[in-house]
Amino acid sequence: MRSDSPNEQDRRPAAPKLLDRVRAAIRARHYSLRTEEAYIAWVRRYVLFHGKRHPSELGPAEITGFLTALAVEARVSASTQNQALAALLFLYREVLACDPGWLEGIVRARRPKRLPVVLTRSEVERLLGGLRGVHWIMGMLLYGAGLRLIECLRLRVQDVDFVRHEIFVRDGKGHKDRVTMLPQAAAGPLVRHLDRRRALFDADCAAGAGSVALPDALARKYAAAPREWAWQWIFPAAKLSIDPRSGERRRHHLHESVLQSRARRSAPRRHRQAGRPAYVATLLRNPSPRGRVRYPHGAGVARTPRCGDDNDLHARPQPRRSRRREPRRPPPGHRPFGCYPAGRGRANTARIRAAPFAKQLIMRLKCPILAFASHGDTPPPRSADSRTRWYR
């Protein structure tokens, strides 16, 4: 059997490292950059916890010990522990291709149920009133359009339709797109902000840094798209930065901490003491006659009826005319042909006797003339409801 020479062994490419294999597996499945950073951090922390041993040499006992140390010593929350478990399961199942059968006995931590933060109308006014400029526009979009923080920061120029007052959310949670409304109170300030944003874009293009990151391979398919105005971020960062994947020097969108720190300073005092993120103003306490709380935004919850204070906040659609027409009712004094009480319409009796089909029609209508037409010249007894009997 022929053995490779030392020179041929040196020419072979080196095997990829563990973290590079994890990174390649995550990008092959089109996971987000946040997921990639979180999984890489947990795999590195897992390897360092067991003295830099390779994960293929470790078993379920080491995984359980690592998760237990996170809960007992580090005192992390249940969601953090579940995230670490998801990263380790991805490492063993997708990267190392181990049999996941022996991982079925691992117990997942249950997330506790917390009560949501509910703000009153005065607190919402103070929260939005403490924001200025771009932060106020983002706060209005979060509250008025129901956007998540990262969805608001990733808005592009072409995602806002000022004619139809709509906002297109691209690649939202769960990689789903949706359409939401544009608050009327934020439309004017947003237009003025885009004018200033266009001046910044022209300055970046003159400096050679006017390109923007595009999803997937659109930059290769449409070579001129990264430098078009429609693809630019609405809320750009103040400084240029290096793209971690492409290595290009460009302007990214604002970081989440910018709005979080600014809203934390203007949040109501009771929420600042509780340590809850008060910038998430998706719930609004609206006192109702029944004494219950109604929540205007969110999926699957009852919406608050719009009051006079919200006329400039919510975009009202044009009313539509109902296609269903109500049946026309005759006036109170009107009677159909032949339906007269006793003593009226005697000239029509011969005509009714001569026409059998008219007699059958009157029998179906159950009119008082029925007795007059059946018993000759003897008029029927007049009842109190003889005028309205034909309606029945």
Residue 166 makes CB contacts below 8 A (sequence gap 6+) with: 160, 179, 180, 181, 182
Three-class SS state of 140:
helix
- Architecture of the domain defined by 114-316: Orthogonal Bundle (1.10)
Percent of the chain having pLDDT more than 90?
33
Point out the least confidently predicted range of 171-180, 217-226, 334-343. 334-343
Q: Does the pLDDT value for residue 11 go beyond 80?
A: no
Q: What is the Cα gyration radius of the chain?
A: 37
Q: Does the pLDDT value for residue 211 go beyond 50?
A: yes
Residue 248 makes CB contacts below 8 A (sequence gap 6+) with: 211, 242
- Residue 251 contacts residue 233 (beta carbons within 8 Å): yes
Burial grade of 215 (CB within 10 A; 0-12, 13-18, 19 or more): exposed
pLDDT in tens, 90-125: 999 999 988 766 666 666 677 788 888 788 888 888
CA terminus-to-terminus distance, the chain: 105
Query: Can you say how many angstroms the Cα of residue 98 is from the centroid of all Cα atoms in its chain?
Result: 37
Taking residues 221-244, report their average pLDDT: 90
Q: Tokens 């690649």 belong to which residue?
A: 171
pLDDT in tens, 73-87: 888 888 899 999 999
Q: Which residue has the higher pLDDT, 292 or 73?
A: 73
Task: Give me the count of residues in the chain.
Answer: 392
322's tokens: 């109902």
Q: Does the pLDDT value for residue 2 go beyond 80?
A: no
Provide the CATH number for the domain formed by 15-103 in this structure. Answer: 1.10.150.130
pLDDT in tens, 145-170: 999 999 999 999 999 999 999 999 99
Q: What is the pLDDT of residue 312?
A: 45
Q: What is the pLDDT of residue 114?
A: 83
**Which residue type does 241 have?**
S
Domain ranges in the chain? 15-103, 114-316, 346-391
Q: Tokens 């067991």 belong to which residue?
A: 50
The Cα–Cα gap between 367 and 336 comes to 10
